[in-house]
């Protein structure tokens, strides 16, 4: 990260710098990836001045220009891979869940979406040689589904798997959970998550995973009828871009779960469709569809990815966590 101070940027005085920091723009990188309208509102300045500040921040942070493919390829080596704990699942994802990308998991109730979220919250704290990213977790819980008891079971499962004595309380200390009570609160919690990640970035467990479970529950409940659809989609779009920015700035894995709807007019194929419309479909980097199978088995289908073919994996949801069947 750049060591440039906000006051060193053109058009930023001490008063403006203080306003930006209070609004959550505490680094040059955060300013560089923001929009002029967003910055103007936060710092109470004109949009033209905000645009100049953003331009200065992009030059200082050395982002926002054109790069050749080989440079991008070199930078992609910094992208982390978070293990799911299942070989087949990891294989269809190219070795694990990518950081700096939004991975969306959708499926019916009971299909295992929240189980995947809990397992990743445990696995991310492991060292890299065991498939983790040696980081902490921020979880935005909109459906009251986080269960520390489940984390304890999964940590005990890891202890058995690796023959080590892991302390579940230590794992729970590195999981930061916030309950979102409505869509506005949910959006604000992403700003709070950015502040927390900034505080922890120099610690031994920087934030390497952001979970939003579920992304769409509040939007679905609050925006009813076609008349509110445009407002809902605009709000959801901005929320997703804030989440993506969090992943980019913190080199973090971003996992969002999504609800589904049934299409009663579908005579052939699976009538289950994800909600959130095209905006969510386009913004998610990886899209996974989970469905129930026999017993404790679940089928995970990779529906969309920029660099991987469509594929399926079978996993088992056990008391000890996600395992290969």
pLDDT tens track for 50-74 = 999 998 888 888 776 788 999 889 9
CATH number at residue 207: 3.40.50.300
Give CA–CA dist 237/280, Å, rounded.
7
Q: Give the residue numbers spanning the domain of 55.
A: 6-61
Number of folded domains in the chain? 2
Among residues 30, 61, 92, the one where a domain terminates is 61
Shared-domain flag, residues 119 and 262: yes
Q: Residue 47 maps to which CATH number?
A: 1.10.150.20
- Do 221 and 251 lie in one domain? The reply is yes
Q: Is residue 197 part of a domain?
A: yes
Q: Which of these, 92, 66, 95, 61, lies nearest to 80 by C-alpha position? A: 95
Q: Is residue 163 part of a domain?
A: yes
- Res 269: pLDDT: 66
Residue 168 pLDDT > 60: yes
Sign of the Cα pseudo-torsion (82, 88, 94, 97, in order) = negative
2: pLDDT strictly greater than 50: no
pLDDT higher than threshold 60 for residue 110: yes
Question: How many other CB atoms sit within 10 Å of the CB of residue 117?
Answer: 24
On whether residue 68 sits in a domain, the answer given is: no
Quick one: pLDDT at residue 242?
92
- What are the C-alpha distances in Å from 316 to residues 92, 297, 303? 16, 4, 20
Alpha carbon distances (Å) from 308 to 14, 105, 176, 197, 286: 47, 16, 32, 30, 9
In a domain, 1, yes or no: no
Structure tokens at 263: 């299409």
Residues 157 and 56 in one domain: no
* Residue 139 domain flag: yes
Q: Domain check: are 40 and 120 in the same one?
A: no
Residue 66 maps to a domain: no
- What rounded mean pLDDT belongs to the chain? 91
The pLDDT of residue 127: 96
Residues 87 and 57 both lie in one domain: no
Residues 193 and 303 in one domain: yes
Which of the residue ranges 17-21, 45-49, 93-97 has the most confident prediction, judged by mean pLDDT?
Answer: 93-97
């Amino acid at each position: 990260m750049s060591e440039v101070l906000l006051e060193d940027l053109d058009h930023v005085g001490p008063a403006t710098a203080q306003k930006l920091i209070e609004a959550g723009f505490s680094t040059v990188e955060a300013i560089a990836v923001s929009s002029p309208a967003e910055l103007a509102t936060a710092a109470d300045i004109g949009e033209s001045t905000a645009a100049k500040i953003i331009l200065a921040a992009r030059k200082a942070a050395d982002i926002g220009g054109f790069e050749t493919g080989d440079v991008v390829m070199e930078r992609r080596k910094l992208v982390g891979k978070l293990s799911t704990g299942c070989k087949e699942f990891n294989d269809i994802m190219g070795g694990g869940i990518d950081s700096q990308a939004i991975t969306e998991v959708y499926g019916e109730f009971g299909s295992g979406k929240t189980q995947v979220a809990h397992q990743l919250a445990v696995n991310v704290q492991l060292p890299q040689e065991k498939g983790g990213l040696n980081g902490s977790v921020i979880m935005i819980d909109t459906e009251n589904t986080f269960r520390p008891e489940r984390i304890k079971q999964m940590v005990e499962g890891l202890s058995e798997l690796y023959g080590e004595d892991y302390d579940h309380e230590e794992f729970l200390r590195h999981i930061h959970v916030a309950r979102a009570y409505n869509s506005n609160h949910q959006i604000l919690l992403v700003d709070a998550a950015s502040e927390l990640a900034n505080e922890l970035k120099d610690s031994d467990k920087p934030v390497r995973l952001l979970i939003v479970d579920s992304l769409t529950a509040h939007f679905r409940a609050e925006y009813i009828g076609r008349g509110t659809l445009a407002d809902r989609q605009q709000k959801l779009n901005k929320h997703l871009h804030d989440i993506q920015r969090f992943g980019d700035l913190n080199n973090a894995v971003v996992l969002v779960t999504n609800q589904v709807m049934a299409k009663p007019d579908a005579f052939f194929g699976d009538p289950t469709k994800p909600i959130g419309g095209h905006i969510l479909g386009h913004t998610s980097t990886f899209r996974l569809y989970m469905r129930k199978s026999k017993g404790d088995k679940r089928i995970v289908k990779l529906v969309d990815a920029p660099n991987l073919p469509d594929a399926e994996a079978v996993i088992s949801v056990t008391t000890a966590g996600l395992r290969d069947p």
